Amino acid sequence: MKEKILEKATDLFLNLGFKSVTMDDLANEMGISKKTIYTHFDNKTKLIEASTTHLLHCIALGIDHICALEKNPIAELYEIKKFVMLHLKDEKSSPQYQLQKYYPAVYGVMRDKQFELMEDCVLDNIKRGMEQGIYRENLNKDFVARIYFSGVTSIKDQKLFPINKFPIATLMDEYLEYHLRGIVTPKGRKILNAIINSNQE
């Protein structure tokens, strides 16, 4: 039952937002009593902590699977972006913004975990791209990995990028292209252009 509650809660939080969903909503949605939820989770904050950990774990597994396919590093980043977008439900309800505003401690922990997860993956991606001659050989890997993470986090700030002006899917595409154009070699640019063109068909 605990797993079912966690999965349903994560789904509701992502679709409606962390602040918007109440324990009553969750109980009604599942057809169970609030008491049953409190048997497994002491309060809403504990449920949100478990939910964000669960979500990050699912995303980490998916990213590991994509990395294990050993595609070329540019294609790999596009696959990861597609996978993460699918998991985050397009973020219509701005769950990250709600989490940051109403549950800052949980948000801080999640952001640190997110960075750890992303740093290894992005560093490995950059290293392989340099070895394959599709990323420039003079890159400062740590700087590029951190600036990439910083950008991915910042574009979710709705004060900077209001959704009515910057739909999240378009924003993610544009940011990824912006990132890659700064680090590719002429050989990498051909691969990047081919991916962008095929995505537009």
Q: Specify whether the CB–CB gap between 158 and 94 falls below 8 A.
A: yes
CATH of the domain at 100: 1.10.357.10
Contacts 24+ apart (CB under 8 A), 37-41: 37/5, 40/1, 40/2, 40/5, 41/5
Query: For a pLDDT cut of 90, what percent of the chain falls above it?
Result: 60
What is the sign of the dihedral through the CA atoms of 58, 64, 68 and 70? positive
Give bridge partners of residue 184 from the DSSP assignment: 135
Q: Is the pLDDT of residue 16 over 90?
A: no
Of 6, 49, 53, the closest CA to residue 30 belongs to 6
Residue 44 or residue 89, greater confidence: 44
Total domains, the chain? 1
**DSSP label of 91:** G
Residue 40 or residue 55, greater confidence: 40
pLDDT digits (tens, 9 = 90+) for 135-190: 999 999 999 999 999 998 888 888 888 888 998 888 999 999 999 999 999 999 99
The pLDDT of residue 88: 73
The pLDDT of residue 178: 97
CA distances for 88 relative to 10, 44, 150, angstroms: 10, 20, 18
Q: Which residues of 32-60 are buried (b: 16+ CB within 10 A; e: fewer)?
A: beeeebeeebeebeebbbbbbbebbeebb
Q: Is the pLDDT of residue 89 over 80?
A: no
CA distances for 164 relative to 46, 92, 169, 170, 177, angstroms: 32, 10, 12, 12, 21
**For residue 61, what are the domain limits?**
2-200
- Rounded distance between C-alpha atoms, residue 26 and residue 42, angstroms: 14
Q: Specify whether the CB–CB gap between 176 and 78 falls below 8 A.
A: yes
